[in-house]
Amino acid sequence: MDIIATELPETTPESATTATRSGRPERADTKTLGAAVRLFAAFPGPRFIALVMIVAWSARLWVGNFGWWDLAVMAAIPMLWPLQEWLIHVFILHFKPRKLFGRTIDLYPAYKHRVHHQDPWKLEHVFIPTRTLPVSLAAIVAAWFLLMPSTELFLSGIAVYVAMSLVYEWTHYLIHTNYRPKSGFYKRLWKNHRLHHFKNEHYWFGVSMLAGDRLLNTAPDYDAVEMSSTCRTVHDVDGD
């Protein structure tokens, strides 16, 4: 595991920025958890997700009428989350651009993810792209509305799903800061994702949960995988 501990910069990433009173960005230290939290709260994506989460939970509490089915829905989301996280990472974020009738087909989230791989210390590239975030959340809300048989279950599902999305954003962001793991649980997440970035991008797709990698056999022993030459240039495609 030396690669993730010794070959990564210990100093503050040059791109780590936060908003000043003038609205201009300034570099910020992220070695402490408090500093990392303050910087996280300065980015628009997490703020937007947090706002949606507050609205969803407020609406759910206002509607009331909780039942056992609410607990079932709320429990099912974190149980299925690792699989969803794996599928999105593999098939959307690592989508390879391809030619179709002479035109290049590329997904914007995949393009932004390649940019993220090229320079994993630029924290502004860590988050779900702001261009796609509102559309994605709107689609998720619509899907839950159509799938759930009642307003109560719809709001329960949305509230937990958006909360899990914020946990994902926070975990991914924190792994890319200079904050070093203190707990065994976070250290496992930290190592797993850094191996994905700096050992081999074809493995270790989990970020906030690792069960998807274990289930789908993409969490091999460190020594069983060769160092990839395309960790920074996924598919050898330029992200610029």
Taken as a whole, the chain contains a residue count of 240
Phi and psi at residue 212, in whole multiples of 5°? -60, -40
Whether the CB-CB separation of 105 and 221 falls below 8 Å is answered with no
Using pLDDT thresholds of 50, 70 and 90, give the confidence band for residue 9: very low
- Look up the pTM and report it: 0.87
**Please, what is the Cα angle at 184 between 183 and 187, to 5 degrees?**
85
In this structure, what DSSP letter does residue 92 have? I
Listed in order, strand segments (DSSP E) in the chain are 17-19, 25-27, 98-100, 103-105
The residue extents of the domains of the chain are 2-236
Using DSSP's 3-state secondary structure scheme, residue 123 falls into helix
Residue type, 77: I
Whether the CB-CB separation of 217 and 205 falls below 8 Å is answered with no
* pLDDT tens digit sequence for 121-137: 999 999 999 999 999 99
Predicted confidence at residue 4, as pLDDT, reads 55
User: Rounded to whole angstroms, how far apart are CA atoms 165 and 163?
Assistant: 5
* pLDDT tens digit sequence for 195-213: 999 999 999 999 999 999 9
167: Cβ contacts below 8 Å, ≥ 6 apart: 208
Angstrom CA distances, 8 to 126, 156, 175, 180, 223, stand at: 17, 40, 12, 12, 19
Phi and psi at residue 99, in whole multiples of 5°? -90, 135
77: Cβ contacts below 8 Å, ≥ 6 apart: 157, 160, 161, 164
Predicted confidence at residue 29, as pLDDT, reads 75
* pLDDT tens digit sequence for 23-40: 433 445 788 999 999 999
